[in-house]
Amino acid sequence: MPKIKALPRIVSEKEWQKERDALLKKEKKLTRELDKLAAARRRLPMVEIEKNYEFEGPNGKVSLLDLFEDRKQLLVYHFMYHPEEDRFCIGCSFLVDQLGHPAHINARDVSLAIISRAPLASIKRHKKKLGWEWPWYSSAKSTFNQDFGMTTEEGDHHGMSVFIRDGKKIYRTYFTTARGVESLGTAWSLLDITPYGRQEKWEDSPKGWPQSEPYYWWRFHDEYK
């Protein structure tokens, strides 16, 4: 790697602190705006998924409802696949590398699954290569990718879909793609795009939304029930 000559300017400790404090005000303002955005996201309407989709997984065929794993909310990452080269997207792999431990979102009644139109054998190969444990399913034998706009004439696209269920009825509540997925990875960022959010009392959520005291539900990832 070539040596980089560009460096920030040098100032005194006092001047550095002054400029850092000025930037901190902007950072806090942005945090509050992001809180407002998440509150608006929790108020989005939803659309029913009427089609019965079937996917292929390591233990056989599963439905979209099965991917919830008996939880109320579901995140689905649409992972790009290039069939002509039997190759998976580098950018999608970059994102999945950054996903935190599932126990934390599971504790808030959220599951996460990855779906690609790739054959199951290719999925298993890539999953093993990168050492991932996240559940990953093939939609190759269904119209799931096409119906959700993730496979078009131009090829595959990526994104994160959010679903909620009411009994056996499934609804889509949110979707983001392109740079919208760049900030996703931590448990907080994933919960912020779900309809119930982090479920903490400080959040601005609709009446009746599940909420508890902040931090009360946090555990070491191996200590959740």
- pLDDT tens string 146-200: 999 999 999 999 999 999 999 999 999 999 999 999 999 999 999 999 999 999 9
CB of 206 closer than 8 Å to CB of 40: no
CB of 80 closer than 8 Å to CB of 157: yes
CATH placement of domain 40-191: 3.40.30.10
Torsion region of 71: left, alpha or beta (phi above 0 gives left; psi -120 to 50 gives alpha): beta
For 113-154, the pLDDT digits (tens) are 999 999 999 999 999 999 999 999 999 999 999 999 999 999
- The pLDDT, as a whole number, for residue 7 is 93
Give the integer Cα–Cα distance in Å for 79 and 77: 6
- The pLDDT, as a whole number, for residue 54 is 97
Q: Is the pLDDT reported for residue 1 higher than 90?
A: no
**Closest residue by Cα to residue 95 from 192, 220, 198, 189:** 189
Pairing of strands 110-116, 136-138: parallel
Chain center to CA of 213? 24
Predicted TM-score of the model (pTM): 0.95
Domain locations along the chain:
40-191
CA distances 10 to 13, 16, 19, 40, Å, are: 9, 9, 12, 42
CB of 224 closer than 8 Å to CB of 107: yes
Pairing of strands 81-82, 54-57: unpaired
For 22-64, the pLDDT digits (tens) are 999 999 999 999 999 999 999 999 999 999 999 999 999 999 9
**Closest residue by Cα to residue 51 from 64, 62, 32:** 64
CB of 88 closer than 8 Å to CB of 80: yes
